[in-house]
Amino acid sequence: MTQVVAVLDFGSQYTQVIARRIRECKVYSRIYPYNTTAGQLKKDGVQGIILSGGPSSVFAEDAPIPDKKIFNIGVPVLGVCYGIQLMGFLLRGKVEKSEQREYGHGILNIYKKGRLLRGLKKQIRVWNSHGDKLIRLPLGFKSLASTENSSFAIIEDAKKNYYGLQFHPEVYHTEQGMKIIQNFLYRICRCRGDWSMADYVIRSITAIRETVGDKRVILGLSGGVDSSVAAVLIHEQFPHLLINKYTRGNCACQPDN
């Protein structure tokens, strides 16, 4: 069975990058809406959960807030940027608006190493993009690292496998960011790292074959990434597609059978 790590999307420009970095570690990632229920995640058998960053503040009236029960389904949780603020806000820590928005490079000083920080240097450059910050830890958490503007740049509750990062490990600008992601996946979530894109393509084509059977297929192809990938996968199963209609660059396709 394929192991899945869920990425809850809070509107970050980097959500897709997080999902890609996980897959680069040979672990399958799936992006979920931020309000996906804990019951659904548990039903899907996710191996871990990552809370993405996002442009909102936890203090905003329309702030995206996840199902708090995600902390009770027994899998590791990693909060990134807005995600760490959500953890503080939901788990009874304290978050406040920063006097100055922190954007760009910062210096991270690591003073305690656990499973998340295994193999990292004591000081690295990281990429920040946030306007709020955690100022009091939830019960059971401890701080592992700080930056110039945050005493709680990395936090952990090792007993419950909850972790938070004030910066973005998924972007190129953060040194050893992939090492942090790998540690979360392999050392904390216990992922096997046996997933590959080739396997995913084969499974997707098989699923299309089983779903379609002897029926016809209609494909709306806009030229965007999602519809183009769908077209390629469908073409693998139905190599003789007839394009029978164009409408402003879109086409309806069906197998020539």
In sequence order, the 6+-apart residues with CB closer than 8 A to the CB of 76 are 48, 49, 161, 162, 163, 184, 188, 189
Q: Which residues of 11-35 are buried (b: 16+ CB within 10 A; e: fewer)?
A: ebebbbbbbebbbebbbbbeebebe
Distances (CA, A) of 219 to 115, 127, 208, 225, 228: 46, 40, 13, 14, 10
Q: Please tell me which residue in 25, 156, 168, 191 is annotated as part of the active site.
A: 168
Place of tokens 């809406």: 33
In sequence order, the 6+-apart residues with CB closer than 8 A to the CB of 107 are 123, 124, 125, 126, 147, 148
Establish whether 61 is a catalytic residue. Answer: no
Establish whether 96 is a catalytic residue. Answer: no
Q: Please tell me which residue in 170, 189, 191, 253 is annotated as part of the active site.
A: 170
Establish whether 236 is a catalytic residue. Answer: no
The terminus-to-terminus CA distance of the chain in angstroms comes to 34
Q: Please tell me which residue in 81, 189, 191, 251 is annotated as part of the active site.
A: 81
* Tokens, residue 94: 């304290």
Question: Alpha helices of 31-81 — where are they, by DSSP H?
Answer: 38-43
In contact, 131 and 142? CB cutoff 8 Å? no
Q: What is the DSSP string of 137-202?
A: PPTT-EEEEEETTEEEEEEEETTTTEEEESS-TTSTTSTTHHHHHHIIIIIIS-------HHHHHH
Q: Which residues are catalytic?
A: 81, 168, 170
